Chains A and B, each alone.
Chain A
Amino acid sequence: MRLDPRLTPTEIRRILQRRAAEAFGPMRANELFDLVGYTTDCLARIAAAPLSLTGEAPDLSGVDAPEGSRPS
């Protein structure tokens, strides 16, 4: 699925639901329906949030940083 703010939530949901059916089967995909819906909403918000090309690098959250020294 492409990262594109022009993708509508309906399109994102259709793609995720299809991927769920491929990965886990149609019955289980149906059981995932509600959480896939919430996740769709989250992905649409993330796609729509503006970031410049040279903006923030990913926050890897100091998993390997010494304790008490989380990078900011």
Chain B
Amino acid sequence: MSELWDLTAAEIVAGIRGRELTASDLVAALLDRAAEVEPEVLAWATLDAQGAAAEARVRDDRVAEGVIGPLQGVPVGIKDIIDVAGLPTIAGFEPFRDRVAERDAEIVARLRTAGAIILGKTHTTQFAHGDPAPTRNPWNAERTPGGSSSGSAAAVAARMVPLAVGTQTAGSVLRPAAYCGVVGFKPSFNWVDRAGVLPLAWSLDHVGLFARTVADVALVFGAVSGTSLDLDADGPAAPRIVLLPEFLERAEPPVRDHLLDVATRLREAGASVEERSLPVDLDVLLAVHHVIMASEVSAVHAEALAADPASYGPVIRLTIETGQLIPAAYLLKAQRLRRQIARAIDEALAGIDGFLLPTASNPAPPRRSTGDRAFQAPWTLVGAPSITLPTGLTEDGLPIGSQLVGRRGGDARLLALAAWSARKLGLIAAPEIRLPEPEPIAEPEPLPEEPEAVGAGELPTSEPVPAAGESEASEQPVEPTAPESDLPASAEEPVERPVEPAEPTEASSGRATAADTAVEPFHTESPAGGAIESRSDVPKPGTDLADAAGEADQPTAPPHPERGEPPEGA
């Protein structure tokens, strides 16, 4: 059996069913793993070691009684805008540090009912918008993990937890999943009640899931929604897929080349992949999303911002203020167009299994940004299910995601298509995390006799302990809220664009070779006989939080309105 912390959710449930492992041992192994890698990743806002251990004991007792739920003993990380009873919901907003939830959000309650264990709360950008979280990308500490569900994606990629929950209002599940090289699934709108989830924009907020395999997101989706799924039986024999050229034209060359290679390999595997344009103008679609989102974010936050402007991050503050300038007639016309767009996309998806496009226009950019939402927001606008698969790596060793989109309500069909595609394409391995070299241990000098003191390791821990990154972050001086552009990542980061298009390579195309180094086999979705690569380089030692905060406040380049791209974040 693999290391316990390396097990997928499906493997955990199988192990617990077979009485081969206990939830208590599993939680202990994941906490050990977190103690090792969390200082490099900073994924957790609150790691509830004691609560998770206690919940694991309860789960083990239930197994002894013969009660085994569909997620029995599976530890889960919860984005820190979602309430977990007894833990604070900080949402990246300092005044909420002591805002302890009295009850579980609906999604959390359903996870527990299915037998899951809540390991803790994962870092989010402030209120799930665009101000970067402290989290680092496990593939490269200088790159963003994406946002807003930064900690959820990074915790799964770093194998501190097999499953995590996030939210998406524009691209906040799929984009961080793609940047961190994991599977991210945003089901159809309203698939689960959002009670207990802090809103960002009511009509756009979706709860989403992170895991390392399609089977795992399907497992948790089925358990929470009550949907019966059989990925093999529901899977298409010869999927019909439409490749969307609008997004290829806007993608950076390594991403575009990789997606074209993915399309070729899917064709070779038996799929019909036809190139066809969206039935709507993408720029109008993105304009509608921006106007609705900015208006709703303003309606949620304007009064709180007026009362406490210093506590708001610069990016969300820009959106709240600009959203208040949008006239009602424009908002209502945007909502009329939204319905028209959703119907047109429904019709385009009728008779096919899904759209194929890159998950993001670029690999993970530097940490001052959370990335470009333009490739994920269209499906959030219309409430259609979308999923990202980690199908390749750039020459620099950054993950590239391939996105599949299904028809509204067609979640099971989309998951079946994703499972089929993952089997044919293979998924990249999880990253190695480079840990700091241990300090040489000096001979201790004899200490003078003094009264017994309480050491750090002996502190009472009945209360949930904020994770290392959280306490570190809280000690940082508050940065002035200098203006930062809430603009397309492509406009902000010209240095990230390659000067010349990269030639497709084995690595950038996602084709694995046995010559690739640092192999850490991914579990269940490797194509038969195909070695699955891991990156050959490893993250640099992390930049500290002060650097990240400083980067976040740097002025940015002017926009490219002619491209009609939306702002970053969320």
Which residues of A pack against B, CB within 8 Å?
1-3, 9, 16, 19-20, 23-24, 28, 31-32, 34-43, 45-47, 49, 51, 55-63, 65-70, 72
Contacts and interface: CB of A to CB of B under 8 A. Distances in A.
A51 B559 contact: no
B225 interface: yes
B485 A35 contact: yes
A16 B326 CA distance: 8
7 contacts: A20-B321, A39-B290, A41-B564, A42-B287, A45-B283, A46-B291, A57-B339
Nearest to B314: A31
Given A46-B288, A58-B332, A60-B203, A34 B558 contact: yes
Contacts of A1: 327, 330
A61 B335 CA distance: 9
Given A23-B321, A36-B322, A49 B284 contact: yes
A31 B189 CA distance: 34
A46 B300 CA distance: 23
A36 B204 CA distance: 21
A3 B190 contact: no
Contacts of B483: 31-32
Contacts of A37: 558-559, 561
Nearest 8 A-B pairs (CB), nearest first? A61-B203, A58-B335, A42-B287, A59-B339, A31-B483, A3-B329, A45-B287, A41-B561
Given A43-B291, A60-B203, A70 B408 contact: yes
Contacts of B334: 46
B191 interface: yes
Contacts of B189: 61-62, 70
Contacts of A65: 190
Interface stretch (B57-65, B111-119, B340-348, B461-469): B340-348
B333 A72 contact: no
Nearest to B341: A59
A35 B338 contact: no
A39 B291 contact: yes
A49 B337 contact: yes
B325 interface: yes
B201 to A, nearest CB: 10
Contacts of B284: 45-46, 49
A9 B409 CA distance: 38
Residue of A16, A20, A43 ringed by the most chain B CB atoms within 10 A: A43
Nearest to B286: A42
Given A55-B340, A59-B336, A35 B203 contact: no
Contacts of B335: 58-61
B324 interface: yes
Interface string B522-556: 00000000000000000000000000000000001
B149 interface: no
Contacts of B339: 56-59
Given A55-B340, A60-B203, A67-B190, A35 B330 contact: no
A7 to B, nearest CB: 11
Interface string B463-494: 00000000000000000000101111000000
B485 A68 contact: no
A37 B286 CA distance: 15
Given A34-B559, A43-B330, A65-B190, 9 more contacts: A23-B324, A24-B321, A43-B291, A49-B333, A51-B337, A61-B189, A61-B203, A68-B225, A70-B409
Nearest to B315: A35
A42 to B, nearest CB: 4
Given A23-B325, A41-B287, A68 B564 contact: no
Contacts of A49: 281, 284, 333, 337
A65 B414 CA distance: 23
Contact of B340 (A24, A40, A56, A61): A56
A49 B344 CA distance: 15
Contacts of B566: 38
Contacts of A2: 329
B325 A39 contact: yes
A57 B339 CA distance: 8
